[in-house]
Amino acid sequence: MAADSGKPTSRVDMREGKDKTQVSRLKKLRRRISASFGRLSISKEETIHESDNEIDSVFPSMSSSNGYYPQKTRSAPDTPPTTNGGHSVTNGNSSRESSTLTKGGPAQVVVPRNPEGRHTPVKRHHSAGDMLGGAPFPPAPKTIITEKQPRPKSEGHVYSRHSIYKRAVSFGGPSAFGRADSYSKLEQLGEGSYATVFKGFSSLTNQVVALKEIRLQEEEGAPFTAIREASLLKGLRHANIVTLHDIIHTRETLTFVFEYVHTDLSQYLERHPGGLNTSNVKLFLYQLLRGLAFCHQRRILHRDLKPQNLLISEIGELKLADFGLARAKSIPSHTYSHEVVTLWYRPPDVLLGSTEYSTSLDMWGVGCIFTEMISGQATFPGMKDAFDQLNQIFKVLGTPTERTWEGVTKFANYDLKKLDKHPGQSLACCVPKLSYVPHAEELAAKFLQMQPPMRISASAAKRHEYFQDLPPRIHELSDATSIFNIPGLRLLPESGDPVTTQRRQSSRSGIRTTLKM
C-alpha cells in the first residue's frame, strides 16, 4: 500500500512540475508582450536603457542568470523595468500588480525606478544633415530641459547655401550681367531708323563689344524685330553666327551686347574693288554656307542676306548678323510677308508676289553674294521697284513662261506689260570671271535657279566640287570651331590698287552701306 500510495503522489508531483513549466513559459510570454507594448508608451522623461548592466548595478540582488526578474510579473509604475533579452523597457503607466505564481515565494518587493527618484530624459536623435554639416552630437543633458528644443534641420540645408548665388542671379541679384554700368560706350559705329550701334567695352570680360541700342517708344514698346532677333540668337551658337552676350533693358532703351567684329563684307568689297581673291571668295562662301546650314537645320530662315549683314573679322571669319527679319519656319503654315530681303538680293518668286517659300529664299541671296564677290559688282542692280529688279534678273536668266516655269503666270506681279521678254544666257556672259574658276559657274547656276525647288541647299553646296581643294578636315569641324583652326588655312592678300570710297560707292549707289538696325 505504501508503494501504491506513493504512485499517485509522484504523479501529482509530475503534474505540478508540468504546471510550473507552463506557468514559467506563460510568464515569459506575458513579460515579452508587456515589454513590446511598453515601448509604445514611453514618455519623454523615461529613458530607454541600452543594456541590463545599468539595472544590475542598481538592483544586484534581483538579477538572475537569464536576465529576468523571477519574482515579478508586470512592472508597476515604481518598480524596476522589465528586461527582454538585452533591452530593458518600462511598462508605461500601468498600475496593476500581480502576486507571484510560485507557492511559498517571497513577497513582492516595490523598488523605485532609480535610486535618486529622478527621470532621465530621452536622448534626442539627430538627422543625417547635422552629420553632413559636421555638427557633433551634443551630450545627453543631465537635467530636465523645460524649453522646447528646435527641430533638427534636414540634410537639404547643407546643400541649399551652394545654390543661393545661382538663384539670386536668376532673379536679378548680384550678377553684373544685364546692367548698363557693366559696359561703356567708346564710339558710334552706325545709326538706323530705330537703333544705334556703338563700339563699347565690357568690364566683365575686359573685351571690346558692339552695343546695339534700340530706342523704345512709350506706347509701342520694343520693336518686334528686336524681340525676334534676341529670341533666335539665344539658341544659335555657331562659329559663323554673331554671338549675343547680354541684353540690357531700361525704361528708355533695349541694348543688345554682341561680340565685336571690326568690318562687314560690304566695306570689305569697297576696300578691294574689282573682285576679291578667288581663294578668299571660296573661304567666305564656305563659311556663309556653314552658318546658313546650321540655321536651316533648325528651321530658321534669315530672310535678309546681303553683304552688310555678313561680318568679317580681322583673321577672315565670316559671321551672319542682323536676324531682325529672320523667323522660324512654321508648319503647316507657309504664308509669310513678301516684303523681305533687300531688293538686289530678293529672289524672283518673292518679287512676283509669292508668299510661300522656304530655305530657297536664302539660297538665292547666297548666289547673288557669291557672284558679287567674284566680279566686285552687284549681279542684279535694280534701281526703281520690283518690276525693274525682275527685268534685271530676266536680262540674264531669261523671262520665264508657263513652259519653263509652271504656274508663273498666276503670280500677282507677273505682268508682261511691265516686264520685258529676254532670252536666257549663261551666267559667264554676265560675270566673265566665273569661267576662270573651276566649277564656280556651275555652283552659281545652282544657286540662281528661277524655280525655288530647283535651288541647291546649303548642306549640299558645302559638298560641291567647287570646294574640293579645301582640306577634308573642314567638313568634320564642330559647330563652334572656326575653319581657321585648321593649320595652313588663312586669307590671302587681296590684289588691286586701293581707290577712294567715293569711286566705290558710285558703283554701288543703289544700296545703303550703313548698318541696318
Q: Which residues are annotated as a binding site for ATP?
A: 212
Amino acid symbol at 291: G
Q: Is the dihedral of CA 273, 366, 228, 182 positive or negative?
A: negative
Q: Is 385 among the catalytic positions?
A: no
Beta bridge partners of 214: 195, 254
* The three three-digit cell numbers of residue 256, written as one number: 543688345
CA-closest candidate to residue 69, choices 54, 57, 80, 58: 80
Distance, in Å, from the CA atom of 108 to the CA atom of 72, rounded to the nearest integer, reads 7
Whether the CB-CB separation of 392 and 458 falls below 8 Å is answered with no
Give me the catalytic one of 52, 264, 304, 322: 304
Contacts of 461 (CB under 8 A, 6+ apart): 289, 363, 366, 443, 446, 447
**How many whole angstroms from its chain centre is CA 45?**
54
Could you list the residues known to form a binding site, using ranges. Answer: 212
3-state SS, 62-88, equals: CCCCCCCCCCCCCCCCCCCCEEECCEE
Unique residue bearing C-alpha cell 583652326: 485
> What does each C-alpha distance from 180 to 16, 171, 406 come to in angstroms?
100, 17, 55
- Annotated catalytic residues are 304
